Structure 1
């Protein structure tokens, strides 16, 4: 009788459980702390809407303003107009340093980044193109290689480290090739603006959805690609932007191989790179890879890995601030400060490429950058 009573109670309970989906089996999904259980779609949506798309929109806006001011300057060249063009170029270049992180998708598909930001500038190629071209138009320039177009070429034309702005102005007014030089600047800024508008439109349009929907964990997923881009850019900053001119590769200093040599914006560019890396890591003010790591309860020596990485961004930024002169000068005049920056960038790289990658189950697909 006792067994029969128990059975009479259990049968309806089990039947009810089968109908409602409630059960007697603990929910592994609720308690899951593995990377597979994290809501990557929300994270990708926040990174896309709060970090990536605004960066491309900023590039498009800045490049349009640069083109407008270049037109005004070429119509009536003077020092005041040149200074405005230089300022608009800096704003455009800062925006480029943000999109430097996001080279998958539209940028990669159209092979555009080398056309936008090929450096160090090949001055011989630029000078030869200027000398050997009968006329310079956007269409002609677009058919040429990346060494004669893009932001670094504009920088080379509008800055002079030795002669200053008066020397630049002379080249646009009294030099024998002044008219052709103006045509070159106009073609450069027009073409750059075209590229910026194209990328902004694609990211603001259909590609954002493609990016956010690709929320799996496979090798071609958006999160896997983005983590690879994070540590690849950080490695590039360390190896090529700091390490190479500082002699980390062969012991020789190469001050002219810093980024943005002619404008002395090298350190500013590195700061912008670090800012966008951290913004992507944190998803702006939304969900980011820091939340992804927190979800998995990732730690390093008893400290949340997200905090370790966030703090290291701050350390790298402070080491940038310690370099108080153009990087081209600092490699010889402030070698200790440059070396400290290099060391802390290396530490950040390990946190991203080893600790973060391992905790999130990321597959490394990008090779190390040369220069270190």
Structure 2
């Protein structure tokens, strides 16, 4: 009898053990949303997008530093023109990396130091006059970066000869331009060195989907960038979609104007779509969503197809705002509002449908009032 009970007990324990192992095995069975898939995606982003993108931008920043240094050392119309050209080239390249506001870039608030506009011209003039300023203060955010360079190279006087003369006669102007460049170089250098150091492996190996995971940080940064800094910043706010009053002076590169503001916007938009689609045969948001079988919540169609279609429509509408975005907002603002509205349609697809399909929680709050 005792042997029978012992056998029964042993059989029961063995059965429970087998069942537990089966459950654990089932939980670890690879599916379309596996850690391996995420690691491949993160590796592609790190090694084929972020690091090469930062390298190209760093190359442009180095040239910009050299040209502005040459200008402050010997202010002439020729050195001013060369500095402007380098500024335009670096500003264009910036549009291709600005959306990478995660990891080291998020830690140092790279975007705040590089591209908050409109710039605070009155604050810059006050800083130049006093010779005392601290770029780490919150009030100094709009007094530095590319928008500050826009004012310093294009807006401190009414024409090129007067701008040059300002720098010839004012050591404080020369110093401020030098300090803005030094701050940009130092801030970006921190981000660049970390990606070329240990952070790359930290990023690639953080394969979860929780709020602190690399995937979550990238998706939140991507969605936030498209919604707030591209849709609203480059088009919606200047067009007055939140206030009902057009404010063309709030465009990017306001002091330079011409074709550059729209070029910056279209470059940024193209970058967003290129990041989504990646390279053929390589892991990307598109391939990942397709592997998950993600569908549009309203139509049941392939989510990636719907997103790409809307990206195409919004890019086309944005392209019609040229060649001079300032003049377009001034003379035919309804077209700028229409561009904003097309981008808004993509926001829902990215922020709601895509994040839901990926199992990612949106951690930022959009506060632009729309």
Of the three residues 294, 307, 314, the one matched with 2:290 is 294
Matches of 1:171 and 1:67 in 2, distance apart? 20
CA contact (8 A) 2:167 2:174 kept: yes
Q: Higher relative contact order at CA 8 Å, sep ≥6: structure 1 or structure 2? A: 1
The aligned runs of 1:167-178 (5 Å cut-off) are: 167-173=162-168, 176-177=169-170
Matches of 1:27 and 1:105 in 2, distance apart? 30
Of the three residues 255, 258, 276, the one matched with 1:262 is 255
- After TM superposition, the score normalised by the length of structure 1 is 0.84
Point out where structure 2 has 5 or more consecutive residues left out of the alignment.
1-17
CA contact (8 A) 1:239 1:371 kept: no
CA contact (8 A) 1:67 1:189 kept: yes
CA 1:284–1:155: 2 relative to 1, 3 Å: farther
Offset of 1:191 from its aligned partner?
2.3
Say which SS state the counterpart of residue 197 (structure 2) adopts. Answer: helix
1:331 aligns with 2:338: no
The aligned runs of 1:205-224 (5 Å cut-off) are: 205-224=197-216
CA 1:359–1:130: 2 relative to 1, 3 Å: same
CA 1:77–1:26: 2 relative to 1, 3 Å: closer
Offset of 1:36 from its aligned partner?
4.8
Of the three residues 84, 90, 95, the one matched with 2:88 is 90
Of the three residues 225, 239, 244, the one matched with 1:233 is 225
CA 1:28–1:219: 2 relative to 1, 3 Å: closer
Say which SS state the counterpart of residue 39 (structure 1) adopts. Answer: helix
Aligned to 1:52: 50
Say which SS state the counterpart of residue 243 (structure 2) adopts. Answer: coil
Of the three residues 263, 282, 285, the one matched with 2:277 is 282
CA 1:132–1:166: 2 relative to 1, 3 Å: same
CA 1:224–1:154: 2 relative to 1, 3 Å: same
Say which SS state the counterpart of residue 343 (structure 2) adopts. Answer: helix
Aligned to 2:190: 198
CA contact (8 A) 1:282 1:288 kept: yes
Say which SS state the counterpart of residue 245 (structure 1) adopts. Answer: helix
Point out where structure 1 has 5 or more consecutive residues left out of the alignment.
1-17
CA 1:121–1:355: 2 relative to 1, 3 Å: same
Offset of 1:196 from its aligned partner?
2.2
The aligned runs of 1:45-124 (5 Å cut-off) are: 45-124=43-122
Matches of 1:289 and 1:60 in 2, distance apart? 26
Offset of 1:225 from its aligned partner?
1.4
Measured against aligned partners, the alpha-carbon deviations of 1:265-313 in whole angstroms (never above 9, x if no partner) come to 3222222222222232223452111011100112333532112222322
Say which SS state the counterpart of residue 165 (structure 2) adopts. Answer: helix
1:244 aligns with 2:240: no
CA contact (8 A) 1:161 1:262 kept: no
